[in-house]
Structure 1
Amino acid sequence: MERPSYGYSAEDTPDPQAQPVCPRHPDRVSYVRCKRCERPACPDCQRPTPVGVLCVDCERELSREQASTRPRNAMGGGMGNRPPYVTYTLIGLNVLVYLGQMLAPQIVEQLGIFAPFRAVFMPWTFFTAGFLHGGILHLALNMYALWIVGQYLERTLGLVRFSAVYLVSVLGGHTAVYLLADPLGQAWYTGTLGASGGVFGLFAAMFIVNRRMGRQSAQILVLIALNLVITFTIPNISWQGHLGGLVLGAAVTAGMFALRPKATPGADRQALARHSALVHSAVVAAATVLCVVLIVVKTLTVMSL
């Protein structure tokens, strides 16, 4: 049985009667051989392992093989047992901003709250308002929901995709508020705040994930329905923000699943993971661009009045 060359041609193989030299550095004599391919390896090309020395090429080959068999999450990204750091961070940011509201409400709220009449001139409020809250109960309910759903989704989607779905849902919620607000009515001057748009986007994402993975989805569907009932029956709740986050969160998650590259036997899973990351980045970018386009159209419409 022929021994694989690992990237070297027969001409690169040194004469067995001559002094062994490193294939990568022919001017260096080496009597240390790779345990895998048995080629000489100079000190710069040696990679010590528990089972002996490998050459740099064999080490890379083994790393690629190990990466190709590493477990992947539902979206094709790396899967591990890391704590849900993004969920912790989002909760921490919300709590810190709320403390800022308590200490300097005029400054924090005036700079961060979303209001349609000034949103174009303060575009950061499309995101910052998602970290402000109207009271301790408002904060507690949103953070509890984020804690419950976030832990599951962050491990299922991966931290980058999870972050993207959450932030795009926040953007989608405030975009919906901007689009549906009447420029001639009181809603145009009413401030909106809260993480509910992002949380509703995560509810939708969890429903899509469970459906696509064959898991129980009835409970999350009931949870969404109950929250929608609360949204439309209790006054002073931004139903536009909730619906906007719900719709965009569902659309982005469904798009990620629909466009996810399919693995086939023998496929390079690392290449598939890179392809998946590019495709999912494009999905998030498309959702963001859609929001921007809708905002521009609404702005031009308002200016023409």
Structure 2
Amino acid sequence: MTPKSTRSSLLCPNCRRLISSDEPLCPYCGIRKPGSGFKNNAMVRGMSDPDLLLKVIIGINVVMYAVSLLFSGHGIGVTANPLSFLSPSNNSMLLLGASGTLPIDRFGRWWSLVSANWLHGSILHILFNMLAVRNLAPFVVREFGSYRMVIIFTLGGVGSYFVSYLAGVSFTIGASGAVCALVGAALYFGKSRGGEYGNAVYRQVSGWVVSMAIFGFMIPGINNWAHGGGIAAGAGLAWAFGYLERKRESQKDKTVALVCVLGTLGVLLWAVGSTTVLWMNYR
């Protein structure tokens, strides 16, 4: 009697074709060890679903905003000014990871270059930024891939606040730096792709950049240095990664994206955990 085969099948984590789990190389795309646990990690697979990815990004921002309000206590801003309505206290935002020369130079909080991208100063602040994410992220996913979008959003946000720090901005928060990194990537895509479609994308995104610049100089408190830094960082990362018409996402892209996700979660959990301890001790 012939023994039953114990071979099982899976979807290649790179090209999503059905293959045997013990293949040393995917016969379709050539990725090494497609059945390894790391390459089939649930978090890595989850980043390949653009809808889920978008919901997670927006969800984390909403949770961090709610946490910042919780730790603000009676210091929540409830004013008639819509730009500052339901604003967390500065102390709450500082503890949770606001960035700038004050947190970095005085307290050594370099990790705030990550955390500041997930904090917001009012209900309108988070609403506008999440609407921008909702509009821009799907385009960047379509043209660059979901893993590269995660890298651009994360590292572009860090780059935006590093530029802001070098410019001497003392205290700053918001996802707009990371959003501007997506703008920079879209700008690079349109310019480098060319043709009717690429030129149309470039013209539209250039109009957004001009509008943001005008808006930034008209409304006080907007961090134009972070916006400019985010656009530059996003364009630079887009240049480094290329886009899907030229180059398929690699396992290296997926690994860097996973590091970005784990690093971000680690920073945010540290920020919330340490703030919780302080809040409990000084109530």
TM-score by length of 1: 0.58
Q: 1:67 to 1:145 in 2, by over 3 A?
A: same
Name 1:242's counterpart in structure 2. 227
Q: What is residue 109 of structure 1 aligned with on the other side? A: 93
Pick from 65, 78, 96: which aligns with 1:98? 65
Mapped to 2, the partners of 1:148 and 1:220 lie a distance apart of 12
After superposing on structure 2, the runs of 4+ consecutive aligned residues of structure 1 that deviate more than 6 Å are 45-48, 260-263
Match 1:126 to one of 68, 90, 113: 113
Among candidates 115, 124, 147, match of residue 160 of structure 1: 147
Question: Could you give the per-residue CA deviations for residues 91-124 of structure 1, whole angstroms, max 9, x where no partner exists?
Answer: 1111111111222125641212113133151122
Larger Rg: 1
2:233 is the counterpart of 1:223: no
1:207 alignment partner AA: L
Whether the 8 Å CA contact 1:86–1:154 is kept in 2: the answer is no
Partner of 1:24: none
**Percent of aligned pairs with the same amino acid:** 23
Structure 2 alignment gaps of length 5 or more: 10-18, 31-44, 73-88, 261-283
Match of 1:294 in 2: none
- Give yes or no for contact 2:100–2:161 (8 Å, CA) kept in 1: no
Q: Is the 8 A contact 2:181 2:234 kept in 1?
A: yes
Q: Does 1:64 pair with 2:26?
A: yes
Alpha-carbon spacing, 1:262–1:132, altered in 2? closer, same or farther (3 Å)? closer
Are 1:142 and 2:104 matched, yes or no?
Answer: no
Offset, 1:45 = 6.7
1:196 matched to 2:196? The reply is no
TM-score (norm 2): 0.63
1:262 to partner: Cα distance: 6.4
CA distance in 1, matches of 2:256, 2:7: 38
Partner of 1:84: 51
Q: Deviations over 1:247-282 (max 9, x none)?
A: 111111112129x9967xxxxx8xx944x749x959
Taking only aligned residues, the RMSD between alpha carbons, in angstroms, comes to 3.7
- The residue that corresponds to 1:208 in the other structure is 188
Looking at structure 1, the residues matched to 62 and 8 of structure 2 have their Cα atoms a distance apart, in angstroms, of: 47
2:161 maps to amino acid: H
Number of aligned residue pairs: 211
CA offset at residue 244 of structure 1? 0.9
Alignment-derived partner of residue 292 in structure 1: none
**What letter is aligned with 2:26?**
R
Q: Residues of 2 paired with 1:226 and 1:281: CA distance?
A: 32
| Deviation at residue 211 of structure 1 after TM alignment | 3.4
Structure 1 unaligned segments of length 5 or more: list them: 1-28, 31-41, 49-55, 69-77, 182-186, 264-268, 286-305
- Secondary structure in 2 aligned to 1:84? helix
